[in-house]
Each structure stands twice: as C-alpha cells, then as structure tokens.
Amino acid sequence: MKQQRQIRQDAYKSGHGFINRYQKLIKDVVIPYQYEVLCDKVENTEKSHVILNFINAGKVLRGETVEDGFYGMVFQDSDAAKWIEAAAYSLSLFPDETLEETVDTLIDIIANAQDKDGYLNTYYTIKDKDKRWQNLMEGHELYCSGHMIEAACAYYEATGKDKLMQVMLKNVKHIYQVFMMQENEGFPGHPEIELALMKMYHMTGEPHCLQLAEHFINIRGKDPKFYEKEAKKRNWTIWGADPTNTDYMQSSMPVREQSDAVGHAVRAVYLYTAMADLASEIEDKELHTACDRLWKSIINRRMYLTGGIGSTGIGEAFSVDYDLPNDTAYAETCASIGLMCFASRMLELSIDRQYADIMEKAFYNTVLAGMQLDGKRFFYVNPLEVVPGIAGIAPTHRHDLPERPGWYTCACCPPNVARLISSFGKYAYGENEDTAFCHLYAEGEVSFENGLRLVCETQYPYDFEVTYKIISGNKKLAIRIPGWSKKYSIMVNGKKSECGLINGYVYLDVMSQDVVKVTLDGNPYFVYASSKVPQLTEKIAVCRGPLVYCFEGIDNEGDVLSIALKKQGKLEVKKWEEKILGNIVKITAEAMKAQKIETLYTLEMPGKDNYTAVAVPYYTWANRGINQMRVWMNSL
C-alpha cells in the first residue's frame, strides 16, 4: 500500500532558485537545441533522423516510396518520446504556445506512423515488418512503446490533450492482444514498458496496463533460457547480443528471487522501479522484499559516491561488490536517472530518508554532470578520475571522455536529463490525505491535492536555510533532514521546534500563515571509503551538503595527481572573486604536493611542499577545457 505518492506535475511552480535556473535552461536552450538535433539541423553533431523516421514510417504505411529509409539505432524512436516528455513537463512550468504547437505537430507525425492494428515502431515498419515481435532480446519494440507511453501521460497531464494518449492506449491494446490474448511468449529485453504501464494505469485506470505490467514482471526469469530459444527460432540478429547472458537482461531468475543488482544498470533500475510501483499497487510483500534486497545491493556495495551506478563499460553494467574503479567508471547518466526513479517508488512504499538522500546524491552529482553548463553538450559516462592522454584514448579508457560531446548516435542520455530536470518537482514533493512531504529542497509554490499550499524559499544547495511559508491548509508537513547534516534546527513562527526525527523526517502540524525555517549544516566534510574498495585505500573525498567536490587541474597548477590532502587538514568555503561556473562555491583544502619526478621510476624519494588545493562541485567539471580531474584524493 502506498504510504504517499508523487504530486502532479502541475502542482509545482518553480521559484527563482537553483532548480529554476536549470529548468529555464532546459526551456530556453536544451529543448530547442535537442529538437534541432532530432530534425538533423545542427552541424557537427551525430545525425539523428528521428523525426524523418516517423515521417517515413507513415509513408510506408500509405504505400509511398521512401528514399532514405530508417536511420539510427533500433531504439531511435525513444529519443522523440523523451523529448516530448521533457517538453510536456516544461510546458507545465512555463506555458509556451509555440512549443506546444511544435509538440502537437510531432504528435501528428507519430500518429500517422501507427499501423491500423496499433503497432508503432519505425524500425520494423520501415525495415522489417515481417519480423515484428520476433526479437524481444534486441528489438526494443516494448522499450520504445514504454517511453512513448510516458510521453503520452506527461503531455496529457500538462495540456489535457489526449491525441498521443489515444495513440498509446491503442498501442497497449495491440500489445495486450499479442502477449495476453495470443499468448506469445517473452518479456522485454530492455525493461521500461513496465514502469510506463504503471504510470498509464495510475492516470487512466485502464486495466490492460496493470495486467501487462504484472505479466511482464512475473514472467521475467521464469525461463532463463527464453532468449536462447528465441534466438534459435530466427536466422537474424540486430547486433549480435549474447542470449546466454541472462544477468545482462535481469532474467537469470524470477524477480522475487533476485538479491544482487546485476547486468545492464539502466535496465536493472528501470525494472526495479516498476517492481516497487507494482508492489505498492497490489500490496505484494514478497515483491517489496525483493526490491529492498536489490536496493541494499546497490547503495551498500555497488554505488559510487556520486550516485553513479554501473561500474564497468563491459555491458554498461554492475560488476561485483566493491568493484568501483574511478578512472574506468561507466556510471551512465541514464542509470542515475533510473536510480532516482527507483528511489522515488521506494519512498512510496516506505517513508525513509535513505531513498530521498540517494535521489539527491544522484541528481546533484551524476545527473547534473551529464550536461554541460550551457545545455549543449552531454556526458554518457561519468568517471570520477580523468587524466588527459589516457581518458578517451587508452583501450581500457575509451568510454571515459575528458570533455562532453555534442550528441551521440546512441542518444538516450541527453533527452533523459531534460525530462528529469523539468519534472524535478515530482521527485521533490509527495503527499497523502493528511501529510505533505518535502523530500528534496526545491524553491517554488506547491499546491497539494490534500488542500495544503506552500511556498518554499531557498538558495540550496549553496545555502542551507530552507523556508516554508504555508499559504493555506491545515495538515501535517513532513520535511526530510538529510543524513549528511550532522546538525540542524527547525523554527516554527520564530520558535524553535523540538520535534524528533521519524525515519529521517520531521513531522509538523501546520496551518495557514505558518512559517517553518529549516537550517542545515553547511560545513564541508571529508568522506572515507570502505577498505573493501581496493581503489580507495587511504583516499578521501570532499563534500558539502549534497554536493560531491572534485579537484581539476585548471585550479591546481595543471596537476592534481601529485596532491595529497591532509587528513586533519582544514576545509574552507570560498566565494570566487568573479562569476565562474555559474557562480558556484569552491572549497580549499590543506594539502601537500609532491615534487615532479621526470623519469618513469627513481630511487630518490620526491620532496613534498605544503599546498592549498582547490575543489569545485563535481557536476561542474569539464566546463573549462580538457584537464585532469579527481574526486578521491590521496591522503596523508
């Protein structure tokens, strides 16, 4: 049973703080830029062809000749879906007739690409119509439908327009016919549609959505050899995926028996998100327990300090416990977005700050690091250490780039970042009948369905005072106190509140005109790693609030590799003398810097000099040219 639920997208109106600046960047720069990319109008970027794929699919269905056919990855349709979803969330925050007309036009194009039976996928419609539903392992048909379902839900919620919703309800009925009525075997190679079906069910009450989601979740892993059998039935493949690698596709065993997060990290957390949502909807305690085990596997043994997950580029996957290398980390941006989704659904099952703490960690570090500060370049992979000349060049490090590309052939991450930032309010706030929950700190006005209205004022994450002004309503207000905040205070109408914490939340009875002020600990602090992580022996990291800091060469005489932080050294918060990296706050740390060794090896111990090292927030790295970067520093 749900303890609380996300607020509606239109319930949150952003204010003038940090989140608002990012949401305006998405509106003003990212959404228009990405649409130009989808239309192949941006020079010196990877070709997208997404919109032309839909146009060409419509032509094929009408029997017209298509010259340039399909181009891109088999899941190329999902880029358009995520763009629509980001645009929908943005329209809820910033109404824009021109953008809405653009989305409506794209939806018309998509609707024209839907077959009479409800099937919708440009790859198979254009290239291989006779091969539909024969390659669930690689084909991504259900994955693409899932993202388009999410787009339909978001656009309907934002505008009330249901054309795309009707398209996708028809598509769901087709999928139901194929997998439930005709009893075709199988489940998605890439989980995604499961969580999307749950969203559509919550919004429409359509029973087919719940039944399909439950079916795909329940059948996964019951026959670990399913994909091998599927592969034997056909004499073709899309990219030669290994059907025996069941961990990669989370199908080694039924989901209720799984204990460790394995395989492709994005696929894993998308699946876990749907599992948690279904567990709360049908009150499945066994499924809830499985989600809890998988959650602990990730955050206790397989997650980076930055909230990145998936430590190996081999399969973009989880590795084994405590294998968290810094310089070859994969930590895909999409995986951290998926982790936020999983955490949000776990919060619906149990109000516990650990879930919101991880949402915050993933967002302010890996997710934001996935996009350049100007909104026009993106990281797919988010390492915690970069050395130019090795990163992006050495065979073991080719996936870890020292600067963000403009776009990707596999462009899942850029539009994913856009939709996440634009929908931040849904993650920040939740509610039930008698309580409004403040999981994350986001300036703006919130109107809860239970009748409470409030305004949040804060300059978080660089300032640590958060004020809630109650506009109307008489309810409970539950505010998370982050686990990293060693001290805090709560003032209600100018008087100190002595309320204790319940699973990391303060619960207050509030009414109209009340003012609640939360003050958190803004002191920078060191973080130390378990000795079970071999790469982090005797290393320390610097954080302040939710922000993980890193050391870049540009601030440290071009060389961070020779710096060792003093374990008992002083950390100081410093304002930049001028506006740099979006007017951030830097931290200085007492350190020693080893003198250079010119030869590869020497018998002479190098000298060390006292040094003041400079750190900047991890999400801002690689915005000032190619240079060294480290999160975890040597210590002495």
CB atoms inside a 10 Å sphere around CB 151: 29
Task: Give the integer Cα–Cα distance in Å for 491 and 73.
Answer: 54
CA angle (373, 73, 83) in 5-degree steps: 45
The label of the residue with tokens 């930049």 reads: 576
User: Which two three-digit tokens encode residue 420?
Assistant: 């996440």
- Give the sheet arrangement for strand 435-438, strand by strand: 5-6, 429-431, 435-438, 474-480, 505-511, 501-502
CA distance 488 to 82: 38
Contact partners, residue 575, CB within 8 Å, separation at least 6 = 585, 586
How much is the CA Rg of the chain, to the nearest whole Å? 25
Q: Are 85 and 150 in contact (CB under 8 A)?
A: yes
* CB contact at 8 A, 318 and 265: yes
Across the beta sheet with 12-14, the strand order is: 12-14, 444-447, 453-458, 465-472, 515-520, 488-492, 495-496
Instruction: Evaluate whether 233 touches 205 at the Cβ level (below 8 Å).
Output: no
Q: Is 100 a catalytic residue?
A: no
Rounded distance, CA 134 to CA 536, Å?
A: 45
CA dihedral 208, 214, 216, 217 (to 10 degrees): 160
Give the CA count within 13 Å in the CB-facing half-sphere of 167: 27
Q: How far is CA 293 from the centre of its chain?
A: 21
Determine how many CB atoms are found less than 10 A away from the CB of residue 266. 26
316, 385, 431, 552: the active-site residue = 316
Q: How many helices (H) and strands (E) does the chain have?
A: 18, 23
Q: Running DSSP on this structure, what letter comes out for residue 482? A: -
- Cβ 359 vs Cβ 338: under 8 Å: no
Alpha-carbon span 526 to 611, nearest angstrom: 18
Q: Which of 334, 412, 456, 543 is catalytic?
A: 412
Burial group, residue 245, by CB count within 10 angstroms (0-12, 13-18, 19+): middle
Largest CA distance in the chain: 78
Kind plus residue range of the DSSP H or E element containing 469 = strand 465-472
Q: 174 to each of 141, 150, 212, how far by Cα in Å?
A: 12, 17, 11
User: What would the DSSP string read from start to end of 360-375?
Assistant: HHIIIIIIHHTB-TTS
State the Cα–Cα distance between residues 602 and 583, nearest whole angstrom.
43
Sign of CA dihedral 156, 162, 166, 168: negative
Angle of the 413-422 helix axis to the 77-93 helix axis, nearest 10: 20
d(C-alpha 68, C-alpha 40), whole Å: 13
543 included as an active-site residue: no
Q: Containing H/E element for 277? A: helix 265-282
The tokens of 321 are what? 């416990």
- Give the number of C-alpha atoms closer than 13 A to the C-alpha of residue 508, restricted to the C-beta side: 25
CA distance 33 to 27: 10
Residues designated catalytic: 316, 412
